């Protein structure tokens, strides 16, 4: 990997003051936690908040709480989603049931969902993948008649709204992630939110039994955050991006992971979370608009849900073929453009658990794993970066017979322009 400006696929950097308050969390954990819980309740207008060490720990805790109050044992999840979702279901001792997705909305395929729910369905995990709002009212209309609960997976949608309501608060219970690559980051972390007193009590019983994370793991997370704060900048990201064993961007399935309460350091790292979240999302809205303006001619066919109202974590583009996706990602990697795929396979193809699903096919999930790419929207993406990315994306969309942008310059002209050093 040569020394060059290299965009990460996503970034939510911390300021020096956040690192300082993170360290102070070692001695001020209790007061920091009470403040953070109160702020989250007020901001998202929820009555109950629980803080954990990761998003998958949050989902596991929710499911364990629900399991204790029900004889139902099946949890429906999308056939294309983060690998942490099935790992949390299995960690909670429940059965994973897959439902195919609509590749043009990233949402659950509602017809398939109607065919999948049943009397043993405990819950439906509904992600807002990349910040794309799922159709919660329609899913509720399917879930309620069979007595299934809706768990909103807003891990990639913190601070996003749909129909005037925060994503993560529209289902029966929801959770956010503050892990790497999210709208807001503390290295890792999860937040459970609900307005249901009954569900909050179920979670509270489980939460009370959780241990704290070992101190060395806590300090290790802080050190990773400190290093990432510097290396996430495009001027330096070429360093970790060029080290293969770091596995940047890889999606792995973990059969075991810690489920612990959030520690004082992570809470301290989130001391300025509201301002950081608002600014992070403001930059994403602005950059997303720039992409939509340039890719307007391709939006209807290739962009997923190209609405101005959507606040994406990354901008999803469904390439015409798997070969074009692979070629685009390879070109983007060489030029440090931050374009990447999302998850490498449907849940049914994860080698550790594939036997659970037999030979059943999930066409929507297979299409997304083969053809979906994402464009970076974070604060480090400049207008010059947008031009360069549009030029490369345009080249591969043109091969399908489409001309995606009226104002994009030629591939070579834009890639060889001097990159502006400024960033929003």
3-state secondary structure at position 101:
strand
Q: What pLDDT, on a 0 to 100 scale, did the predictor assign at position 263? A: 96
Distance, CA of 325 to CA of 339 (rounded, Å): 10
The answer to whether residue 353 scores a pLDDT higher than 70 is yes
3-state secondary structure at position 178:
coil
Mean pLDDT of 227-240: 92
Question: How many Cα neighbours within 13 Å face the side chain of 377?
Answer: 29
- Burial (0-12, 13-18, 19+ Cβ within 10 Å), 219: middle
In CATH, what number does 273-415 get? 3.90.1150.10
Q: What pLDDT, on a 0 to 100 scale, did the predictor assign at position 242? A: 77
Q: What pLDDT, on a 0 to 100 scale, did the predictor assign at position 419? A: 35
pLDDT in tens, 6-50: 999 999 989 999 999 999 998 888 999 999 999 999 999 999 999
Q: What residue ranges do the domains of the chain occupy?
A: 16-208, 273-415
Q: What is the pTM of this model?
A: 0.92
The answer to whether residue 220 scores a pLDDT higher than 70 is yes
Mean pLDDT of 264-269: 97
The answer to whether residue 358 scores a pLDDT higher than 60 is yes
Beta bridge partner(s), residue 97: 76
The DSSP bridge pattern shows strands 173-177 and 190-194 to be: antiparallel
pLDDT in tens, 187-199: 999 999 999 999 9
Distance, CA of 116 to CA of 65 (rounded, Å): 23
- Burial (0-12, 13-18, 19+ Cβ within 10 Å), 416: exposed
Q: What pLDDT, on a 0 to 100 scale, did the predictor assign at position 423? A: 36
Mean pLDDT of 151-177: 97
Q: What pLDDT, on a 0 to 100 scale, did the predictor assign at position 302? A: 76
What are the Cα distances from residue 39, in Å, to 32, 36, 273? 11, 5, 9
Question: Mean pLDDT of all residues in the chain?
Answer: 90
Instruction: Find out if CATH 3.40.640.10 is the number for domain 16-208.
Output: yes
Place of tokens 């999210």: 182
308 pLDDT band (50/70/90 cuts)? low
pLDDT in tens, 59-110: 999 999 999 999 999 999 999 999 999 999 999 999 999 999 999 999 999 9
Mean pLDDT of 106-134: 98
Q: Which one has a higher pLDDT value, 27 or 367?
A: 367
Q: What pLDDT, on a 0 to 100 scale, did the predictor assign at position 404? A: 44
Across 79-211, the runs of DSSP E, i.e. the strands, are: 95-99, 121-127, 149-153, 161-162, 165-166, 173-177, 190-194
């Amino acid at each position: 990997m040569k020394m060059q400006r290299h965009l990460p696929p996503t970034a939510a950097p911390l300021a020096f003051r956040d690192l300082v308050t993170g360290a102070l969390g070692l001695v001020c954990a209790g007061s920091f936690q009470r403040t953070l819980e109160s702020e989250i309740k007020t901001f998202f207008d929820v009555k109950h908040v629980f803080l954990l060490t990761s998003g998958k720990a949050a989902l596991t805790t929710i499911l364990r709480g629900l399991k204790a109050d029900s004889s139902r044992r099946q949890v429906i999840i999308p056939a294309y989603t983060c690998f942490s979702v099935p790992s949390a279901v299995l960690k909670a001792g429940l059965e994973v049931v897959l439902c195919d997705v609509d590749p043009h909305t990233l949402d659950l395929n509602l017809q398939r969902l109607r065919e999948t729910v049943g009397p043993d369905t405990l819950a439906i995990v509904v992600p807002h993948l990349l910040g794309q709002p799922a159709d919660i009212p329609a899913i509720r209309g399917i879930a309620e008649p069979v007595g299934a609960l809706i768990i909103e997976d807003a891990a990639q949608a913190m601070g996003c709204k749909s129909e005037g309501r925060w994503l993560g608060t529209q289902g029966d219970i929801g959770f956010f992630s503050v892990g790497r690559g999210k709208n807001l980051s503390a290295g890792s972390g999860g937040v459970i939110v609900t307005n249901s007193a009954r569900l909050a009590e179920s979670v509270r019983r489980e939460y009370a039994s959780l241990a704290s994370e070992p101190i060395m793991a806590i300090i290790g997370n802080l050190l990773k955050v400190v290093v990432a704060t510097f290396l996430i900048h495009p001027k330096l990201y070429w360093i970790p991006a060029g080290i293969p064993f770091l596995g940047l961007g890889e999606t792995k399935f973990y059969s075991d992971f810690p489920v612990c309460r959030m520690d004082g350091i992570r809470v301290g790292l989130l001391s300025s979370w509201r301002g950081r979240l608002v600014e992070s999302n403001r930059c994403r809205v602005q950059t997303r608009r720039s992409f939509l303006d340039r890719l307007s001619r391709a939006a209807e066919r290739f962009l997923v849900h190209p609405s101005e109202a959507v606040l994406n974590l990354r901008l999803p583009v469904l390439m015409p073929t798997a070969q074009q996706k692979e070629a685009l990602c390879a070109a983007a990697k060489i030029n440090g453009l931050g374009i990447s795929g999302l998850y490498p396979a449907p849940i049914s193809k994860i080698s550790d658990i594939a036997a659970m699903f037999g030979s059943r096919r999930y066409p929507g999930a297979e299409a997304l794993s083969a053809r979906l790419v994402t464009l970076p929207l974070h604060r480090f993406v400049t207008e010059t970066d947008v031009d360069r990315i549009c030029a490369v994306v345009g080249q591969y969309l043109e091969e399908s017979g489409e001309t995606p942008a009226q104002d994009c310059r030629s591939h070579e002209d834009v890639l060889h322009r001097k990159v502006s050093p400024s960033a929003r």
